[in-house]
Structures are given as C-alpha cells and as structure tokens.
Structure 1
Amino acid sequence: MSCSLAPFLGAFLLISETLGKTVTGVFKSEVARERGGQYITKFMFGADSGLLVCRLDNAALAVEQEARLVLYPEMQPDLDTLSCSEKLARAQFTIYLKHDEHNQTIPRQSSPTLWHVLYADRYTCQESATLPSHPDVHFTILTFNPDSAGNPLDHFSSEEVGLHSFYFLLLLAYFVACCIYVQPLFQALKKGGPMHTVLRVLTVALGLQGLSALCNYIHLSRYSRDGVGFPLMGSLAELWDMIAQVSMLYTLLSLCMGWTLSRRKPQSRPLQWEQTPTSTALAVGAVLTQGILLLWEQISEADSEHHSFHAQRSLPGVLLLLLKVLLALVLASILYQIISTERSTLKRDFYLSFTKGCFLWLLCHPALVFMSSVFNEHQKEKVVTIGVILCQSISVVILYQLFLSRSLYWEVSSLSSVSLPLTMSQTNRRGRY
C-alpha cells in the first residue's frame, strides 16, 4: 500500500498551490498583445462594495506606455470573437495607471460576482507597432471584500468566506473527541485482537484528515491577513487528504471482500476474498486508479488561482466521481448478496451498518456535487467541501462503532468465526478482551 503511494508523493509536493489574492508580477506588453490583454487575476466580490488596489514600482513608465487595467464582471464567451479594441471597450471598468497606487471601488451588486482583471497598454491592439525595449513594470494587486465591520479588509473571496471558521470548529471537534476517546482507542490498539488492523487504518485515515484540517487552518489564517497564506501548507493539506482517501478505499474494499488486511487466509465464505491474481489486481487497480486521478486533478489545476480538492471541475475530477459511483455499485452488489442470504438478524444488522459506512464515504462526494448545482456559484464550493468532510467523518464514526466497542462486531464474530474477515477465533490464544 505504501509502496503504491510513493510515486505520487514526491510529484505532488512539486505542484504549486493557490496564488492567493495578493498578486505580484510584471506587466508585459508582448503578452498583452498576443492574448488581447494580459490576464492578471480573478476575484469574487460580494454583494457589498469591494476594493481593488494596484501598486506600481515605476508609474512614469506606466504613463508612457498608457498602461491600464480592464475589469470584466464575467468573461463572456463572445469576447473571444471580438476584435482587440472591441474586447477592451467591453470592460466594465478601466483603470489608467498614472500613479504609484490606485484604488478602485467595486460598486454594490445584486449578488456576488466573479471579476476578471486584465492588463493592456498602447501596444496591445497595434500589431504592426514595434515594441520598444524598456524595463518591465512590476506590480502588486490586492483585492478585498468588506469584513464584518463593513471595511474592505477581507482577502477572502465570496466562495471562500466561512471556510476559515469551519476548519477552526472542525479542529475543535477533533480535539474534544481526541481527549475523550484517545485512551480507549490506544488500549484497543495496544491489545491487538480481531479488529486491530481495521482500527489502525481507520485511525491513520482520521489522523490524516485532522492534519489536513490543521494545514488548511494555518494556511487560511495567514491568508486572511496577507492574501497569500502558506502555499506549502495548502499543498500539504491536499496531500494528507489524498492519502486518507486512498487508504480508506483500500480498507473498505478489503473488508467488504473479506480480504483481511493482515493478509491472513480467510477461513470460508461468504465474506471471503482469496488472494487470487484477479482479486489482487482489482484491489490494487482501484487504489492506483484513484491515486492517479487525484494527482492528475491537482496537476491539471496547479496553475489556477484557487482550486479545492473537492471542486471537481476538471476531467480527472469527473472521472474520480464516476469511479466512486462504480465502486459503490460493486460493493452494493456484493453486500446485497451477503445480506439477502443471511438468516441471522444480528449479522444482517452488522452488514447493514457496514454498508451505510461504505456508501456514505463513497457516495457523499458525487451526491453533493450533484446537489450543489441548485446553489449559487459562490456557495457551491463551500457546500461540497464542508459536506464531504462532515459526511466522511460520520462514516468513520459509524465504522468505529462497529469495530471498536464490545458490541455488534464482537457479538457477531463470537457467534460465527467463519463469516467475518477478522474474527474472535483468531485471537482466542491471545486472551480475553
């Protein structure tokens, strides 16, 4: 398992993260001419008045080049069909760069709107003009939304508002749960037993999700002050979440198919997955496919100003959703056969609870992406991100209830030592739990 993840870890750390809402760079006349305007940044301003600040290191040169920023509330598809001059004339705002610092107020709007900022100068639409050799103009652009007091000091765009507070509450919940359950969990892991390997993988996955939330919180805390944050922390947050997703998929497949994670030979059916080439290829193939799609999604969106692990707006993101639905159907078919042939009510309750945990983990993401289509654009990402984290946390809790306490799993495994992948009979020699 760890070997299969190794190729992805190094490559992922090379991926750039969010550029933030404080953008620094260089205005380039040749790029502006080639593309009909040099694309600078985008920002979703809220319904209240926002603010865009542009600072230059050489205002005199900017005046000589007739430098300006053009702002579009939405990049309409028909802009690409217009001529260069017509495209620039369609801008909602034009900021002529004549001073060291410019402040542009974005007026109130009926709803949050995504604004795009482009750079243009006197040479942008003059294809026959020779570009002079002159030093580049360095710039810093800051974008703000109103804070709780109504002052334009908030670096968070409308689709990000609330995520910082959510991660704080999530970390607080993790801390409280850790204080309450860390001792019994540690004792269960120390003793070993029929559910030792399952608990270990669940704990690792939950710990990785906690690390992801902590990294996101640190990144957003700094981001709220300077609009840049800690890009490495943002990348690490997505990396930990990726590993948690892959490890949980491996666990669910192994348990559902009856393939013990400790690689012991299953005793008999119905929950049995013999280590045949076919079954091994299915498990490893599913895990590798998910890992490749997760990495591909991050690479495909590495150059965007903002991307979320849960956004799924790219081709690999869509394929990842389809993979989760396909795996859920496979598990549903297997679990249905087991439940329909099981006569014991106690065992059926165990299988049903396990099914709920599996489906909640696998299907919450596709379902929330589908449901988010009814929300406004600035709400979609928050609905999916927060919803997936909460649903997967509930899924882990359900699985913990099955495998940690001396309740359903213990009763079922003690009744039948041949119907579960990890059973009491395997640990009779180790003592009583």
Structure 2
Amino acid sequence: MVSCYREGKGKDCKWKDSVDEDIEIAYDIWLVNGNPAAPSHNVFEYQFSFEQQGSLERVLLFFLLYLVLAGLQVYAVMRQKHLVTRLFTAALTLQLLSFLWTITHLAIFAMDGDGVPSLGIVGDVSYMLSQSLFMLLLLLLAKGWAITRTELTWKPVLFCIWLVYSCIQILLYVWNMTEVDVIEEIDEYQTYPGWISLCFRLVVTAWFLTELRSTMMDENDHRKLRFYLHFGAGLLCWFVYLPVVALIALQVSALWRQKFILGISSCADFLAYAIITHLLWPTRSQQYFQLQSELDPGDELEELNEAPHNLQANCRKELESN
C-alpha cells in the first residue's frame, strides 16, 4: 500500500510506503457498463461487456421462435408414427432446452452480474447434442431412409460414428473451456478446438454429399429425385455456412466478431429446423416419405367411397334413378 501523508501544517503531502503496517482492507470491484449510482440503466447492457451485449435479446427471440416450431412438431409427431419424426422431435426439443437454459443464465446474469454458469454449460452441451442429432437425421435422410428405402445398411457403423463424433465435440468444448486463454481469443473459431471442430464438420459434409449422391443414383422416381435436389441444396448450405462465417469473422473487429458469428449461426440453425419441420409436415410428407400417418375417420370413409367397386355401385344407382 502507498498513501499520501501530510506532516505538520503544510499543504503538501508525501507518498510513503505503508507495507510494514498491518492493515486489512475489504474491497469489492464491480465492473459495469454505466454509472452504478444511476437510477436508470439498460438491463440488457448494464452487466454485459460490449461483445456480449444483445445476447439476452437474441436468445429470447429465438427461444420464442423455437417454441412455435416445437408446438407445430408436437402436432405432427402425434399424427405420424415413424422414427424419423421422433428423431427430429428429439433434436428440436434439445435445441429448445438449450435456449431455455441459456436464457435463464443470461437473465440472472443481467440482474446480479454472476448468473448461473452451470446452466450456461448445460445449455451449451444441449446445443451440441441437438446439432449432433440433427446431423444424424440429415445423414439418414441422405441415405434415403423412409424415402427410397425402409431399411438401412451399416446401421451399427453409422450410429457408432455418430456417437464418436458427439463425444469428440464435447471433449473439444471442455478443452476450449479449460485450456484456452479467454483473454487472447474472443471466439472459439480462433482456437485449436474450434479449428478441429470445423474440420470434423467438413468431413460430415463430405459424407452427407456422398450418401446423397449414392441414393440419387438408386432412385428412379422423378418427384423424389427433385426432392433430393432441393433437400441437398438447402441443407448443404447449413453444413458449410459455419466454416465460411468463421473465415469471414477473421476480418471483423473483435468487438463485433462474437455478435456476427452467433447472429448468423442462430438464423441458419433456425432456418434449417424450419425447413425440416415443413418437409415432415403430415400433409406434405406423404408426397415423398413412407411414414405411417393416423388418418381421421372421415378420411378413411372418403377413401372407401372412392374405391373402384364402390364407384361402380354408385354409378349403377345413379343410372337406375335416372
């Protein structure tokens, strides 16, 4: 400790070292954006550093959007009995839960500046598991499951690779959280764990394209081929957007880089989930997917009336009446 002492009646003071004195000082440093004594402040910016400002609003917005998607998917999964819809519902549920845990952590952080870090970690892990399940679903659809073929080959190998990929993603996350200096690196894609994660994503992308090409060569239905083209083009953008965004982010200021990456990632993920929700909707999935749907009794009666023998009987009755 160094303090200023004034000796005698003079106006000047001299700095003296008081390290030899046994003094205990209790202090608390609270770093916020704005004046702590001000009666009013922006709750969305007050406790957050500049590169994190806007996180609470972004997570809240996409939580509401995913909540709408989840409601629609619950209706769809109740009318369709197939593992495809259940797998997508599980991925969508994990995505919704990841936003729920994250928004809870950020809301508490906005109030006290501490939050619940464990909830933030649970949210990140839920997000990674959701992404892994979603990739598994896309690979299964690229193999033609429930579209071109009802049975899959090499199922144990496929699920083992998926399990290994999920474990690697979690290990890379732990590495990034424990070993990487957060002061030097603003975003994860400037770290070794981030680069390795992007490389694995590119490998899965190549696998997706290979399976899709093989399935299209075995398919003869023009409608399903057109579906595969649109499906492959749309979801390929989802696979490759993250490496492209990570490269572009290198040219963005460190103050805006995290907002740039998270904003585009959130939009791209939501669009991908919305596309699959649309494709698996009961009235549309019947065009391409071999899914078991629960028909209403009125639909069954209508199909029975349109049967050939019933149509002939109805025609005879009309002729006899005329």
**By the TM > 0.5 criterion, same fold?**
yes
Distance between the aligned counterparts of 1:223 and 1:399, measured in 2?
Answer: 34
**Contact persistence 1:238–1:309 (CA under 8 A):** no
Q: In structure 2, which of residues 170, 174, 179 is the aligned counterpart of residue 294 of structure 1?
A: 170
Q: Deviations over 1:80-131 (max 9, x none)?
A: xxxxxxxxxxxxxxxxxx9xxxxxxxxxxxxxxxxxxxxxx999xxxxxxxx
One-letter amino acid of the counterpart of residue 107, structure 2: S
Distance between the aligned counterparts of 2:68 and 2:114, measured in 1?
Answer: 30
Residue 252 in structure 1 maps to residue 138 in structure 2: yes
Aligned partner of residue 228 in structure 1, secondary structure: coil
**Contact persistence 1:257–1:272 (CA under 8 A):** no
Distance between the aligned counterparts of 1:310 and 1:343, measured in 2?
Answer: 46
Alignment partner, residue 309 of structure 2: none
One-letter amino acid of the counterpart of residue 267, structure 2: L
Residue 412 in structure 1 maps to residue 288 in structure 2: yes
Shift in CA distance, 342/289, structure 1 to aligned 2, threshold 3 Å: closer
Structure 1 residue 406: Cα displacement: 1.8
Q: For 1:306-317, what aligned pairs fall within 5 Å after superposition? A: 311-317=188-194
Alignment partner, residue 7 of structure 1: none
Alignment partner, residue 274 of structure 1: 153
Structure 1 residue 249: Cα displacement: 2.1
Distance between the aligned counterparts of 2:276 and 2:185, measured in 1?
Answer: 27
Structure 1 residue 141: Cα displacement: 2.6
Structure 1 residue 343: Cα displacement: 5.0
Whichever structure has more helix as a proportion of its residues is: 2
Alignment partner, residue 52 of structure 2: 160
Structure 1 residue 226: Cα displacement: 2.3
One-letter amino acid of the counterpart of residue 233, structure 1: L
Q: For 1:378-397, what aligned pairs fall within 5 Å after superposition? A: 378-397=255-274
Residue 171 in structure 1 maps to residue 63 in structure 2: yes
Residue 371 in structure 1 maps to residue 259 in structure 2: no
Whichever structure has more strand as a proportion of its residues is: 1
- How large is the RMSD of aligned CA atoms in angstroms? 4.0
Structure 1 residue 178: Cα displacement: 4.8
Shift in CA distance, 360/199, structure 1 to aligned 2, threshold 3 Å: farther
Q: Deviations over 1:158-178 (max 9, x none)?
A: 110111111121223234445
**Contact persistence 2:202–2:239 (CA under 8 A):** yes
Aligned partner of residue 406 in structure 1, secondary structure: helix
Q: Deviations over 1:220-262 (max 9, x none)?
A: 12212322111121111112112112211222222222457xx
Aligned pairs, number: 281
Distance between the aligned counterparts of 2:242 and 2:24, measured in 1?
Answer: 45
Structure 1 residue 203: Cα displacement: 1.6
Q: Deviations over 1:295-330 (max 9, x none)?
A: 332233236568999733322221111111111112
Aligned partner of residue 95 in structure 2, secondary structure: helix
TM-score w.r.t. structure 1 length?
0.55
Q: Deviations over 1:145-167 (max 9, x none)?
A: 23897899822111101111111
Structure 1 residue 348: Cα displacement: 1.9
Alignment partner, residue 211 of structure 1: 97
One-letter amino acid of the counterpart of residue 230, structure 1: V
> Considering only CA atoms, is the larger Rg found in Structure 1 or Structure 2?
2
Q: In structure 2, which of residues 122, 126, 135 is the aligned counterpart of residue 236 of structure 1?
A: 122
One-letter amino acid of the counterpart of residue 243, structure 1: L
Distance between the aligned counterparts of 2:184 and 2:262, measured in 1?
Answer: 11
Distance between the aligned counterparts of 1:362 and 1:309, measured in 2?
Answer: 23
Q: For 1:6-405, what aligned pairs fall within 5 Å after superposition? A: 62-63=1-2, 140-146=28-34, 154-178=46-70, 181=72, 185-193=73-81, 196-258=82-144, 273-275=152-154, 280-302=156-178, 311-339=188-216, 342=219, 344-405=221-282
Alignment partner, residue 44 of structure 1: none
Distance between the aligned counterparts of 1:307 and 1:355, measured in 2?
Answer: 38
Shift in CA distance, 336/178, structure 1 to aligned 2, threshold 3 Å: closer
Shift in CA distance, 252/207, structure 1 to aligned 2, threshold 3 Å: same
One-letter amino acid of the counterpart of residue 30, structure 2: L
**Contact persistence 2:105–2:116 (CA under 8 A):** yes
Aligned partner of residue 178 in structure 2, secondary structure: coil
One-letter amino acid of the counterpart of residue 412, structure 1: Y
